[in-house]
Structure 1
Amino acid sequence: MVIGAGGQIGRPAVEALAKDGWEVTAVSRGGGRDEGTPGGVRTRRLDREDDAALTALIGDGCDLVVDLVAYSARHARQLTGLADRIGAAVVMSTVSVYDDGTGRGFDTMSEPDGLPRYPVPITEDQSTVPPGDATYSTRKAALERELLAAADRLPTTVLRPGAIHGPYSPLPRELYFVKRNLDGRSRRVLAFRGESLFHTSAARNVAELIRLAAARPGFRVLNACDPRPPTVAEIGAAVDAVMGVETRTVLLDGAASASVGRSPWSVDVPVVCDMTAAERELGYRPVVTYRDNLPETVEWLTRRLTEQDWREAFPTLARAYPDLFDYAAEDAWFAARRT
């Protein structure tokens, strides 16, 4: 059973498991299927918050539950409460659970002296934020803690992806470059000299990890990222190449000037994860690189932008980055430089 099967990771996960011979039930809020759903895959509707509905779907039991939408201790308890009916689980977490050992992490980046200093690369034994209900990161940490407490009853692989990319994303960071190119913006500004590194995770690579973990039940926590992550400047250049455009990039030595230069990858410190454990424990080898995965992403984003305003198409992204396309501020910044 794949919970969250209609999403960015769910679609390639269902495909990978079905190709590997699993009898898959694809569970989503809508419960539908599309042209990409493999034949033979069953589809079911589920409200993730409905305990009784989840119990009914599990029924007498299943060999594997892949939970892509769990994000709290309560969701972990839903799964562990059904441990006698579930053979093994794969549950999605996030690299944002990491702190730098001094209490600083993703949640403190905007605070005075709150910038974390992560080791490069980050291994899975790096300390994590305290579990709680305050933020996305603390909720995911609580999810992990609850699953760990039930490790003897429910073999679970916890995966920690970084900046997930691919079609069907609710937070498509690549839109930052795609929309600018479609809008004819020939110049752009990038903070930190465009050298920011925020480890990327192709949805198809995460699906490959799910496939491998499904065949090797056990309790483990693994980073779930791509090969060498591209810098934000390299991402912009790769998007330009796919779209066949040329742009001029101005690089700032430091942080963004208000909204000018700020991208969804712009971090002052590198966030790079070690993938050695996944290679060792599961035999993981990435199935795509960032560049391999980009044309499909660009095509999907371009199609969505012809159908809707970007804020309507991607409300999660708009809430997270409301000034992502502040062209007036950018034009004023360039005009001041000329002056």
Structure 2
Amino acid sequence: MVIGATGQIGRPTVDALVRDGWEVTAASRGGGRDEQWPQGVRAVRLDRADDAALAAVVGEDCDLVVDMVAHGPEHARQLTALAGRVGSAVVISTVSVYEDAEGRGFDTQGEPDGFPEYPVPIPETQRTVAPGESSYSTRKAALERELLAAGDALPTTLLRAGAVHGPHSALPRELYFVKRNLDGRGTRVLAHGGRSRFHPASVRNIAELVRLAAARPGSRVLNACDPQAPTVAEIGAAVDEVMGVEPRTVLLDGAPPADSVGSSPWSVPRPVVCDMTAAARELDYRPVVSYAESLPGTVDRLRAELAHRDWTEAFPRLASTYPDLFDYPAEDAWLRAR
């Protein structure tokens, strides 16, 4: 059973499992289907907060539960309560659980010098934030701790995903470049010299990791990212190539002068790059797609979404997270002053 099957990671995961011979129940709040799924996929409506409904969908003998939406200790307890009825689990976590040697993590990045200084690359043995209820990161850490504590009662592979991307993303960071190109912006500004690296994770590569972990159950934590971690300038160039444009990029040393100038969704002062050797060692993982290879589908979807409505309507979560992505007057004023 795949929980959150119609989300951005769930869609390719269902497809990958079916192709590998699994009989899949696709559970989601709306109970919908992806048009590319085979007819044999059983789609069901599920309210994740309803423990009885979850148990009923799982049934008495489920070989595998894949959970895309678990994000706190209560969801871990939901899963561990099914031990004995479920063979194993694969659960999506996040790289934001990591903290550096000074105790800095994603939750401290808004503080002065609060952005973490991680090793490059980050191994799964890197320390993590204390589990708790205060943030997304601490709740994911609590989720991980409870599931790993279950051990052989419910062998669970936790996949720490990076900056997830794909055609059905509710947070398509690529829009930063795609919309500028569609709007005919001839110049863009990138802070930190365009060298920021925030490791992307294709939904197709995550789906491949789920498929491999499903065939090799175990209690483990693995990073889940693409084979490369391109810089933000390289990401922009890759988007430009797909769209056939050549805008000018102004590289700004140091931090953005304002939230609306030079600050992209990848603009971090220190690199966030994950080590993928453990996945290769434990699961024989080989990525199925590179970042550049994945871009045409994402760009096509963004074009289509923007054809008839404003970006804030098409992607409200992105607009809420990054409200100043397209403040063109501020950019133009900064460029004139420069």
Where on the TM-score scale, by shorter chain, does this alignment land: which range?
A: over 0.9
Shift in Å, 1:71:
0.3
Distance between the aligned counterparts of 2:235 and 2:39, measured in 1? 35
Q: Is the 8 A contact 2:6 2:34 kept in 1?
A: no
Distance 1:228 1:178 in 2: 21
Distance 1:142 1:307 in 2: 42
Change in 2 beyond 3 A, CA 1:98/1:170: same
Deviation >4 Å, runs of 4+: none
Tell me whether 1:332 sits opposite 2:337 in the alignment. no
Instruction: Determine helix, strand or coil for the equivalent of 1:237.
Output: helix
1:113, distance to aligned residue in structure 2 (A): 2.8
**1:248 and 2:245 matched:** no
CA deviations 1:88-138 (Å, max 9, x no partner) are 000000000000022101111110231211001100010000111111111
Q: What is the TM-score when the length of structure 1 is the normalising length?
A: 0.98
Q: Which residue pairs with 2:137 in the alignment?
A: 137
SS of 2:280's equivalent in the other structure is helix
Instruction: Note if 1:307 corresponds to 2:322.
Output: no
RMSD of Structure 2 on Structure 1 (CA)? 0.8
Show structure 2 runs of 5+ residues with no match. Answer: none
Counterpart of 2:268? Answer: 267
Give the Cα separation in 2 of the matches to 1:184 and 1:28. 39
Amino acid at match of 2:104: R
What does 1:222-233 align with in structure 2 at a 5 Å threshold? 222-233=222-233
**For residue 85 of structure 1, what is the aligned residue in structure 2?**
85
Q: How many residues align?
A: 337
Counterparts of 1:304 and 1:205 in 2: how far apart (Å)? 24
Residue aligning to 2:289: 288
Instruction: Report percent identity of matched pairs.
Output: 73
Describe how 1:174-253 pairs up with structure 2 within 5 A: 174-253=174-253
Whole-angstrom distance in 1 between the partners of 2:313 and 2:45: 24
Question: Partners of 1:160 and 1:220 in 2: how far apart?
Answer: 11
**What code does the residue aligned with 2:321 have?**
A
Distance 2:123 2:186 in 1: 39
- The range that moved more, 248-257 or 26-35, is 26-35
Superposition pairs of residues 147-158 of structure 1, within 5 angstroms = 147-158=147-158
Identify which range, 109-118 or 320-329, moves more after superposition.
Answer: 109-118
AA of the residue aligned to 1:143? L
Report how far residue 308 of structure 1 moved: 2.3
1:44 aligned residue? 44
Give the unaligned 5+ runs of structure 1: none
AA partner of residue 290 (structure 1): Y
Give, in whole Å, the separation in 1 of the partners of 2:165 and 2:77.
29
For 1:30, the aligned partner's letter is G
Separation in structure 1 between the aligned mates of residue 44 and residue 135 of structure 2, nearest angstrom: 30
